[in-house]
Structure 1
């Protein structure tokens, strides 16, 4: 699959998707990168004043070359490509809910975290921590403004632990978590650096509960894992500590999406804030593109695009502190549009909550 050029996307969006509308203006972050949904481009913390939602890119890939059999550049392109695909939608009006998100929420795009280039090519422990700190700085700015940061990342810790850490530091009470993933990411040690300070790809969730005192497994809702990928003792430890686990088998064999939505409350019960994390390899091959585009991350009977969008919407209605993404399947315009939907349907939930609307 060859991803289209920016000119093809721009012309196609104007000509095909909303030809009945006048072409709309969208601010540009770079020569081939518009802001998300054409929202205002915030370049300083002062620009975040009054914002409800702040979009942040974290185009970081951990490793010394390819990641899971796919070129690193393909993974890192996700924030830009999601922004590119977002401009095909001419407004914030979601017809499913008869609701214009932007009438209720001020959404701004804060660009990408300032990750030093050498952190992308030399993943030493010190460079990983520098990359993580760059994301933390952006997330801190957003939360200081009272906004919900939405971080479009690709690898840990920049698209996961960095966000959880800031939410933890800015929350006096306990923090719940809703996590969608194919993998638990609960190895005690990061395999890339073998450094106990690093909350890397296979260890970030373990490190979250090791390092952040107000995160507790009894408020973790873990969704989507399946198959023969995990160490039994590691999973059992999290279950013994109270994690509410909903594997795909349970969802498919009777619980269903409605039953799953009913179980989300565990993340909100007795907590002050909730952090949501969508690891998009959870799609497997059940989304609008084949699972093979994930390379070595592809696994059978993943979640559907509707399920990941619906869960984001339901979390938005309940209120969240932050949302982050990693492992966004590379190269498929349709998959990048799924991410646009996830963000917008989450925002629809936040808008309903802000406006006191209860009927989806």
Structure 2
């Protein structure tokens, strides 16, 4: 089944009798791209005033024409398609919590970072840095307004290091990190450009801890890696420096989601801000779509959609400086809806924190 057109999605939402959305008008960023959850479209820095959460797209793929066996166009479509799927949901009311997120939070959509088109087809070091700077600019605008930036990206550094760097520069004290991933991304050098300035797909986390002075591995909660994918010396070095590592084997063989939630404190204790990064290849084949849609990124026994959504909600309740996504499985409407849930349930956590509420028993 191919991904539906915008007209098909829109008509389906209008026909959905359970939708409370006004079917005749949704704020639009482009002809086929509505705003996330039909929230106001912020086009200038002034439009961010009073915002609690700012949605930012970072459609960027690191490669010459494709990534991990999947066409670049499929990866690049993620920010648009997540916005498209979000209009299924006519309100911010989350029934499990008896909570309307929009009663407590002002959420705006700041559109996509202005990544120059040539950066998507000519991944030279100079172009990668230009693309990264475009994302940093919008993230800094959001943080200057006192909001939490939520960056929907696809590849590093635009969906990872760019956000970590902005958080680092705006935080006086230490920065904690909660990271979900199938891969550690701790190679010392970006293999695409071979340039030490580039925090690329397989190196962004190494570069974060090498270049950002207030990131320390003792405040890193690393979740989800598994299997025979990593260099042992690299992993052992991060563990030696204090990383709190929760592989899928440990989660599945006794820790469970409740135990994992209780381990999040390692990112919060002794820090002034926490950056959260969800690499969505963590789903593997455990989500609502087969792992094969990830191409070469597919690996066995990934996280479930519930676990990914639950962790987002839990960090929201504790408070975060920023949330970013990369490697969103391409082409599946159901997976894009998972991302809508991840963002909204994180926002529900922020709303509960802001309002001093707790989830119903």
TM range (shorter): over 0.9
Q: Which residue in the other structure is 1:217 paired with? A: 217
Q: Is the 8 A contact 1:51 1:105 kept in 2?
A: yes
CA displacement at 1:123 relative to structure 2: 0.2
Q: Which residue in the other structure is 2:11 paired with? A: 11
Q: Which residue in the other structure is 2:39 paired with? A: 39
**Which blocks of at least 5 consecutive residues in structure 1 are unaligned?**
none
Q: What do residues 253-306 of structure 1 show as CA deviations (whole Å, max 9, x unaligned)?
A: 000000000000000000000000000000000000000000000000000000
Partners of 1:14 and 1:218 in 2: how far apart?
A: 49
Residue correspondences, number: 360
Q: Which residue in the other structure is 1:343 paired with? A: 343
Q: Which residue in the other structure is 2:128 paired with? A: 128
Q: What do residues 11-66 of structure 1 show as CA deviations (whole Å, max 9, x unaligned)?
A: 10121252576536320000000000000000000000000000000000000011
Q: What do residues 62-108 of structure 1 show as CA deviations (whole Å, max 9, x unaligned)?
A: 00011100000000000000000000000000001000000000000
CA distance 1:17–1:62, shift in 2 (3 Å): farther
Q: Which residue in the other structure is 1:149 paired with? A: 149
Partners of 1:89 and 1:110 in 2: how far apart?
A: 19
Partner SS for 1:55: strand
Q: Which runs of 4+ in 1 moved over 6 A?
A: none
1:196-275 matched pairs, under 5 angstroms: 196-275=196-275
1:53-68 matched pairs, under 5 angstroms: 53-68=53-68
1:96-115 matched pairs, under 5 angstroms: 96-115=96-115
CA displacement at 1:358 relative to structure 2: 2.3
CA distance 1:256–1:218, shift in 2 (3 Å): same
**Which blocks of at least 5 consecutive residues in structure 2 are unaligned?**
none
* Root mean square deviation of aligned Cα: 0.9
- Deviation larger for 21-30 or 203-212: 21-30
Partners of 1:187 and 1:93 in 2: how far apart?
A: 42
Q: Which residue in the other structure is 1:354 paired with? A: 354
Per the normalisation by structure 1, the TM-score is: 0.99
1:142-181 matched pairs, under 5 angstroms: 142-181=142-181
Q: Which residue in the other structure is 1:332 paired with? A: 332
Partners of 2:6 and 2:171 in 1: how far apart?
A: 40
Partners of 1:350 and 1:24 in 2: how far apart?
A: 30
Per the normalisation by structure 2, the TM-score is: 0.99
1:172-191 matched pairs, under 5 angstroms: 172-191=172-191
Q: Is the 8 A contact 1:17 1:89 kept in 2?
A: no
Partners of 2:355 and 2:46 in 1: how far apart?
A: 25
